Amino acid sequence: MVRTMKPKKSQQQEKAKKPEPSSSKAKSSPENQQPKADKETMWSDAGFNESELTLSQLKNMITTLATEIFNKKKEAIKAEVDEEVEARLYDHSNDVEETVEELRKEMELMREENESLKKENTNLRRRTERLEFDITNQNKKLRDLKICSDAVEQQLYEKDLQIVGIPELFDKEGSEDEVDIKTIVKMVHEKMDINLKPNDIEKINRLGKRKNDKTRDIVIRFRRTNVRNKIYNNRKKAATHSDPNKNTYFNDRLTEYRRDLLYAARQLVKRKRILAAWSQQGNVLIRKTDKDSVVQITSHEQLRELNTIPDEIGQSVGDPDTDYDSE
């Protein structure tokens, strides 16, 4: 097969076909003009060779540039924020200073008020101490006055005895029968072997208001003290019945104050704080132990000083009908 050979174009024809670069293209715009040396420096600084750029290298270059731009932007934003914060702090600094000054003045005022209150408290405490001292002295005077008044009242009872356990007898009209005097005279003669006569008794009466469920005590006033003392000294002979409810007890007639004092002392006996407590010729006596001597008690404070009575004892008056225990 015969190949047809194409004729070669002459060099002059090829040169004629090749367009010459225009003068407008030869000159680039000012934005795109960059010396070849600067471009090479940029690529070399970034670690690239312009003639050998690959897609990976271009990506890394863009990442590096983006990071640099981000850091610069972050620094710019931080600077702006710092300026804004500083400006706001400066704007509020005057308000803060004013608030602090107001607080300082209030604290100073409170300190002055506190000092004033301290002085007032000191004065009140001193006044309270003086009042307590005066009250203590007044209480002592009142107590001494009460003891003196009680001693005078007790002297009025020096011829009296209080009897527990004699049943009440009444006549048909419901009035108390005078048989009580006969009963006492008979009982004294039989149980104490004492020849008591009706005219030895000056007065006899029941204590308190009449009660249906309880026998009232009898108070006897004798004409002579020696007769009263003779019966009192033999009082235990009247309490010899095997049934305590059928016994008769002769006791001192005491003032309300001394009954309360004797009641408190006997409570101590029940609690085994003292050995014994009793009354004799209107006086309240106690014996702390069998080795101690007899002590006369005139106030609850004496019992407290002896460390034999709790604070709650003696604060209320006992029932007059139960103050006298059997002896």
Q: Is residue 44 part of a domain?
A: no
Q: pLDDT class for 178, splitting at 50, 70, 90?
A: low
Least confident residue range of 9-23, 35-49, 138-152, 199-213: 9-23
Q: Is the pLDDT of residue 21 over 60?
A: no
CA 55, 56, 61, 62 dihedral sign is: positive
What percent of the chain is predicted at pLDDT more than 90?
29
Domain endpoint, select from 111, 127, 155? 155
Please check whether residues 62 and 123 belong to one and the same domain: yes
Q: Is the predicted pLDDT of residue 172 greater than 60, yes or no?
A: no
Taking the C-alpha atoms of residue 204 and residue 136, their distance in angstroms, rounded to an integer, is 42
The mean pLDDT value for 145-155 works out to 91
Last residue of a domain, one of 196, 231, 253: 253
Mean pLDDT of the chain: 77
The whole-angstrom separation of Cα 107 and Cα 172 is: 89
pLDDT digits (tens, 9 = 90+) for 75-117: 888 888 877 777 777 767 777 788 888 898 999 999 999 999 9
- Is 38 a member of any domain? no
Residue 150 shares a structural domain with residue 172: no
Does the pLDDT at position 254 exceed 90? yes
The answer to whether residue 45 is domain-embedded is no
What predicted TM-score, i.e. pTM, was given to this entire model? 0.53
Is 137 contained in some domain? yes
Q: Is 187 inside any structural domain?
A: yes
* Sheet order of strands, 276-280 included: 276-280, 283-287, 295-297
Question: Are 174 and 233 found together in one domain?
Answer: yes
In a shared domain, residues 142 and 195? no
> What is the per-residue pLDDT for 322?
38
Give pLDDT tens digits for 280-316: 989 999 999 899 999 999 888 888 877 545 544 444 4
> Does 122 map to a domain?
yes
Domain final residue pick, 118, 135, 155: 155
Domain span at 94: 58-155
Strand ranges across the sheet with 218-222 = 201-206, 218-222, 160-164, 249-252
Mean pLDDT on 213-241: 87
Domains in the chain: how many in total?
3
Cβ(185)–Cβ(195) below 8 Å: no
Indicate if 243 and 259 belong to the same structural domain. no
Same domain for 299 and 223?
Answer: no
Query: Is 262 in the same domain as 244?
Result: no
Tell me, yes or no, whether 36 lies in a domain. no
If asked whether residues 142 and 174 sit together in one domain, one would say: no
Domain CATH code at residue 242: 3.30.70.1820
Same domain, 204 and 281: no
Do 211 and 263 share a structural domain?
Answer: no
Pairwise CA distance, residues 106 & 43, whole Å: 70
Considering the domain architecture, whether residues 145 and 78 belong to the same structural domain is answered as yes
Inter-CA distances, 143 with 138, 151, 263, 299, Å: 8, 12, 19, 8
**Percent of the chain clearing pLDDT 70 (strictly above):** 72
Q: What is the pLDDT of residue 173?
A: 55
Cα 215 to Cα 129: distance, rounded to the nearest angstrom: 51
What pLDDT band is residue 324 in, cutting at 50, 70 and 90?
A: very low
Tell which wins on pLDDT, 163 or 12: 163
- Which residue type sits at 110? M
In a domain, 320, yes or no: yes
Reply yes or no on whether the pLDDT at 55 is more than 60: yes
**Two tokens at 14?**
């090829």
Query: Domain check: are 249 and 259 in the same one?
Result: no
